[in-house]
Chain A
Amino acid sequence: VEPKRKKRNICQELCGSVMEFGEESSPALAFEKEAFELTVEDVYDISYVIGRDLLKISNTGEEVSDLQFRIVRVLEMFETLVNKYNLSLEELKMERDNLKSELDRIIKESSSGQQTAGPNQLVIDLTDPNRPRFTMQELKEVLQERNQLKAQLMVAQEELQLYKSGILPQAEPAMVEVDLKTPAAKEHKPETINDTKEEKTTIGKLFSFRRK
């Protein structure tokens, strides 16, 4: 596209009224181009060449005006198509470049760890061993069970204390024997140590894990 040249149009080119081409630029070269490489300037060159040929024919005395009008019409359609094609191509290229740079930006962001999440969403790194994994309901159940066991342990400890201090009448020698084997049991009399046979009472079984 040569910017210096005045705006061309099909009619003027075909009727040969305006153009004079230098020796170096030959408008006939437009015929040798690939269809998809044509610019609208090429279409004007084609118009010019056809106009020149028509002139030759009319100089021989033939009547060409009807043909001339049809050719103008066809070339105008051609002009529109080439124009439209080149514009669409340009638009698609720009669109493609925009998408490309957008994609590059997103890839860059995600690789640098700045992932974007919705306003109420949390991004979880699945490789983090400390990542959140359990639901509130699960935590609730675990805590309830923990507190239940804690309460039961306290009740058991209290009962044990009662047995130890002799408040409860069920306390038997076996109980004493079990206690004697634990490190903290020093308040009992030494003679009961040898009484190792009786250890089948409930309490003895319950707390047998403390022996050894």
Chain B
Amino acid sequence: MAKKTYDLLFKLLLIGDSGVGKTCVLFRFSDDAFNTTFISTIGIDFKIKTVELQGKKIKLQIWDTAGQERFHTITTSYYRGAMGIMLVYDITNAKSFENISKWLRNIDEHANEDVERMLLGNKCDMEDKRVVPKAKGEQIAREHGIRFFETSAKANINIEKAFLTLAEDILRKTPVKEPNSENVDISSGSGVTGWKSKCCS
């Protein structure tokens, strides 16, 4: 009914261990702000940000998941609808990096086969507390054939670049045909987007 304010809708998903900064990365991108107090995400949340790429207005609906194990049954049901997934670890937390392989397996198990993946090593402003060398992040990204950025939501390093790059990678795979008139789809799991329905038919 209302005139559409965007040309394409991309659904992105942020996953990774609890406390690596997924919500902060998203908050930096959507609101260009940073909050130091840690509030654990309950289950699943989302934010919307519209960007312009190659003359197209692209609405990004970015799902922010809780990293805590106890929310897994809720969060994994959102993998299916995602067109791009950001795997986030904390460069000052070795365990969060080790668990990246576990998160990659989760993607294999629950997400679409052609989902665009990206690896982020967050908190790169905390060089003095770093325990995961940048080379290790680059290596695991290379092994899985995905892009890698070290980011800092606090110092605003590479945040916008990461999201725009992921959106560009999805746009590159998107057929040029105009999308269906669709609003933001908030249903979990099986939410079919214009992009996906064209891909799968």
Contact = CB atoms under 8 A, between A and B. Distances in A.
B184 A143 contact: no
B3 interface: yes
Nearest to A143: B43
B197 interface: no
B184 A155 contact: yes
Given A136-B73, A155-B184, A162 B48 contact: no
A147 B89 CA distance: 25
A147 B3 contact: no
Nearest to B50: A158
A148 to B, nearest CB: 5
B37 interface: no
Interface string A130-153: 000000100110011001101100
Contact of B183 (A136, A143, A155): A155
A167 interface: yes
Contacts of A168: 2-3
A158 B43 contact: no
Contacts of A136: 73-74
B46 interface: yes
B2 A155 contact: yes
Contact of B43 (A139, A150, A155, A159): A139
B5 A158 contact: yes
Contacts of A139: 42-43, 74
A136 B5 CA distance: 36
B74 A147 contact: no
Interface string B35-48: 00000001111101
A106 interface: no
Interface residues of A, number: 16
Contacts of B43: 139-140, 143
A64 interface: no
Contact of B74 (A143, A148, A159): A143
A154 interface: yes
Contacts of B48: 151, 154
A147 B183 contact: no
A93 B200 CA distance: 78
Contact of A154 (B73, B77, B184, B187): B184
Contacts of A147: 44-46, 186
A158 to B, nearest CB: 6
Contacts of A148: 186
Contacts of A143: 42-44, 74
Nearest to A155: B183
A157 B184 CA distance: 13
Nearest to B43: A143
Contacts of B46: 147, 150-151
Contacts of B3: 162, 167-168
B188 interface: yes
A162 B2 contact: yes
Contacts of B73: 136, 140
A209 B45 CA distance: 27
Interface of A: 136, 139-140, 143-144, 147-148, 150-151, 154-155, 158-159, 162, 167-168
Given A144-B186, A147-B44, A150-B46, 15 more contacts: A136-B74, A140-B73, A140-B77, A140-B188, A143-B74, A144-B187, A147-B45, A150-B186, A151-B48, A155-B2, A155-B184, A158-B5, A159-B2, A162-B3, A167-B3
Interface of B: 2-3, 5, 42-46, 48, 73-74, 77, 183-184, 186-188
12 contacts: A136-B73, A136-B74, A140-B43, A143-B42, A144-B186, A144-B188, A147-B46, A147-B186, A151-B46, A151-B48, A151-B183, A162-B5
